[in-house]
Each structure stands twice: as C-alpha cells, then as structure tokens.
Amino acid sequence: MAHVRRGLPILNTPQKIFYEENGYIVIRKNVSPELLDEVTQRFIDICNGDPNHNVSVIMKDPSLKKMNAKGQYLINKFQDFAYDEGFWKYISADTVVDVVQEIIGPNITAAHSMFINKPPNADPGSSLHPLHQDLHYFPFRPADKIVASWTAIERVDENNGCLYVVPGSHKGPLYEHTYPDGFKKNMYHGIKGFDQLKRVHVIMERGDTVFFHPLLLHGSGPNMTKGFRKAISCHYADSNCEFINVEGTTQENIAEEIEKTALKLFGITGVKMQDVWRLKSRLVRGNPGNFQTVESHL
C-alpha cells in the first residue's frame, strides 16, 4: 500500500518515475526552518568548542587552516553524528524518512551522516567535491536499497557550490575512484575521464531536500561567495542490506583508508570497513536486520 501523509502519497507517480529514470528527486520545502536553525546552531556551537556532542569526525579545510581561520570559518565537515541527539532530529525527521521509506522500504538504518560547510575564502580546489559515486564508500548492497538525503540550509546555486549530478548515471556500474589531480583532501576520492558528461546543477532553496541513488555521479563546485554554503545529509540503507567483502574490488583503496583512520582516531586495531559501518549506524524505523549487530558505537 502506498505510504500517505494527510491523505496524499509521499511521492506521487511522476516523482517516483523521475527518481527511477534520473537517480534523484528534489522535494521542495522538505525540512522546517526551525529544525534547520537548530542543527545550524548546534554546528556553530561545536565549532566554537562546545565539548558536549557525539560527532565522531570533525574536519578542517586544509587551505583555511593555513590562513589561521577559526570556528565555522575553518571547519568544513562533521561526519557520523547519528548518536548525537541534536543532529538525530534531522536524521529521524518524518518529512525526510517518509520519502526514504518510499524509496527503500520500511526497515531503515542511518548508515552515514554529514553536516557539510563550505566556508568563504577557501582555495577553490579544496572547496569543491570531485565527481564521485557514494557507493564507493559503502560495503553493503544492493545499491537500490540505499538512498541519500541532502538538505540545503541556505539557497545553493553555482556561485556557492551547489551539488551537480549526471542524470541517469545510477544505471551504470561503480567506477574506480582515486585522488583527483591537484588538491587532495583525505578520502575525497573522485573518478577521472568523465568530463564530457552533461551535468545538471541542482539549485535549491533553504529546506529543499534532494534524495539520490548511491551510484549517481555527482559532486559540487567551490563556494566563490563571501557567505557560507551549508547542508545536512544522511545516507539510509534498508537494514536488510547484506555486507560484502570488498577485497579485490575497486573499493579496496577506500577500505584501507577507512581502516587506517579508525585506528588513528579511535585506536581500534584489526577493524574492517564493514565493522566501521556497523558501529556508526543507527536504526531509524522497522527491524534492525544486518546492521545493529554490535552493542556500542564510535
């Protein structure tokens, strides 16, 4: 039976067809301004040194570090905050999760979460995100049972580094990812040789959310404005997704980096990429399936 809100389907048939054909769908005014204010304030407070949080990874823009920038003028990403009750309000927001349920079904695990900030004045090579597919980072399948939400916290367009996508590319394979030529940021892998593909810039207003498939080719440009470009995002998987062994696949390079980072940040030895995903994931709705097989989280 179709999932409904106030008597209307969450996604209508043309929206479902658009997602299936293009690998993404934008839902306008999907997240309330109040919730966006709350998560933004939480981001700023933690950037300013509030120690009371459960954010696993806090990343600084390397070009802004050299300029001695501070706080939200320096920090460009929070990652893995499913166990932070402030950010959990976004991850578990009904307006987001109802759309996710339409795409991947009722058993939903939040597998990866990010607050992405593009501060002003960064080196453009550092501010951009190269063309990539998110499935490169995920050791679970099937790909059709994974979806990302990405919500604009302010208007995003080509001037401040909105997302761009290659419509329909989710129907292709997972490509080999490596570090791009030029600026290298930890784990920002990209694919090479696809510059001729037609890119669509996804222009969005505050509160709009784009939902997209993990094989969709996408990236974002640099923020060339004097303001910030902030967004909040979560990758959701059907909890019944199966973990895979990535040895001997194109994902071996990222597995190695993730395992080394887990050792450096958390002192966990012998950890496999699959364990990292189990540790940081959190059940959102339905049955726990294959993800919540360990007690603690990072």
Q: How far is the CB of 163 from ligand AKG (least distance, A)?
A: 6
Using CB under 6 A as the binding criterion, the count of chain residues that bind ligand AKG stands at 9
Q: Helices (H), strands (E): how many in the chain?
A: 8, 16
**Of the candidate residues 231, 234, 237, 279, the single one contacting ligand AKG (CB under 6 A):** 231
SS (H, E, C) 66-78: HCCCCHHHCEEEE
Nearer to ligand AKG, 16 or 144 (CB): 144
Q: Using CB positions, name the residue nearest to ligand AKG.
A: 220
- Please compute, for residue 117, the number of CA atoms within 13 A of its CA located in the half-sphere on the CB side: 26
**Of the candidate residues 42, 53, 129, 213, the single one contacting ligand AKG (CB under 6 A):** 129
Q: How far is the CB of 112 from ligand AKG (least distance, A)?
A: 9
- Contacts of ligand AKG in 181-220 (CB under 6 A): 218, 220
Main-chain dihedrals φ then ψ at residue 285, nearest 5 degrees: -150, 150
Nearer to ligand AKG, 53 or 129 (CB): 129
Q: How far is the CB of 114 from ligand AKG (least distance, A)?
A: 6
CA atoms of 136 and 253, how far apart (whole Å): 10
Based on the shown chain and the rule CB under 6 A, indicate whether residue 241 belongs to the binding site for ligand AKG. Answer: no
Nearer to ligand AKG, 212 or 240 (CB): 212
CA atoms of 283 and 298, how far apart (whole Å): 15
Q: How far is the CB of 103 from ligand AKG (least distance, A)?
A: 17
- Contacts of ligand AKG in 266-295 (CB under 6 A): none
**C-alpha distance from residue 145 to each of 86, 103, 138 (Å):** 26, 7, 12
CA atoms of 145 and 50, how far apart (whole Å): 36
- Contacts of ligand AKG in 133-162 (CB under 6 A): 134, 161
Based on the shown chain and the rule CB under 6 A, indicate whether residue 232 belongs to the binding site for ligand AKG. Answer: no
Nearer to ligand AKG, 179 or 268 (CB): 179
Residues contacting residue 100 through CB under 8 Å, at least 6 positions apart: 108, 147, 149, 211, 236, 284
- Contacts of ligand AKG in 60-99 (CB under 6 A): none
Nearer to ligand AKG, 10 or 180 (CB): 180
Nearer to ligand AKG, 76 or 101 (CB): 76
Nearer to ligand AKG, 62 or 289 (CB): 62
Based on the shown chain and the rule CB under 6 A, indicate whether residue 116 belongs to the binding site for ligand AKG. Answer: yes
DSSP string, 244-297: ---TTSTTHHHHHHHHHHHHHHH---S--HHHHHHHH-EEEES--TTT--SS--
Nearer to ligand AKG, 161 or 180 (CB): 161
Alpha helices, DSSP H, located in the chain: 13-22, 33-47, 62-66, 85-91, 94-104, 124-127, 252-266, 273-280
Contact 117, 227 (CB under 8 A): no
State the residues that interact with ligand AKG by CB under 6 A: 114, 116, 129, 134, 161, 163, 218, 220, 231
